[in-house]
Amino acid sequence: MHRIAVVPGSFDPITLGHIDVIERAAGLFDELHVLVVHNPGKTALLPIAQRVALIEKSVRDGGLPDNIKVTSWSVGLLVDYCTDVGASVLVKGIRSQIDVAYETPMAIVNRDLAGVETVFLLPNPAHAHVSSSLVRQVAALGGDVSPYVPAAVANYLQSPRE
């Protein structure tokens, strides 16, 4: 059986915490789709296409497994994408009880809607405090985000047009 899993998220921008979860998830499934989804509850920093490009570059530069595909989804439910591509599992990183509280209802609804299960991975403790919102804030105030994000993201946030 060819097992396909999806790691969905805003990835605005992708962090080293995301990279850790993506790398470990890629080892658990035959195919892993990293899916950039617009979250209407958040004010975006980067356009979706730029987030996809930065994830692709970070995955390539980091030497992550080649069963990883990066794409985006803007029409309909997340589980519609899963059904379209034949994915039966969503993968999410869980850093804290706050993440558990945020993710649990979505996991139950996604299972109710389409039988798609959610697998939670615990982070490498080195990245447990890292979030995209923290990175956006540090970057907006002129701080150094390089400890928290792949080099491609740090370079882009420093000089977005390059």
Catalytic sites, residue numbers: 18, 42, 95, 132
Q: Does 94 contact ligand PNS by CB under 6 A?
A: no
**Residue with smaller CB distance to ligand PNS, 52 or 66:** 52
Q: Does 106 contact ligand PNS by CB under 6 A?
A: yes
Cβ at position 162, least distance to ligand PNS in Å: 26
Q: Does 150 contact ligand PNS by CB under 6 A?
A: no
Q: Does 109 contact ligand PNS by CB under 6 A?
A: yes
Cβ at position 147, least distance to ligand PNS in Å: 20
What are the strands of the beta sheet with 68-73, ordered from one edge?
68-73, 31-37, 4-9, 89-93, 117-121
Residue environment code for 87-111, b if the CB has 16+ CB neighbours within 10 A, otherwise e: bbbbbbbbbeeebeeebeeebeebe
Is the distance from CB of 13 to CB of 54 less than 8 angstroms?
A: yes
Fill in the DSSP letter of residue 125.
Answer: G
**Residue with smaller CB distance to ligand PNS, 66 or 140:** 140
Cβ at position 39, least distance to ligand PNS in Å: 4
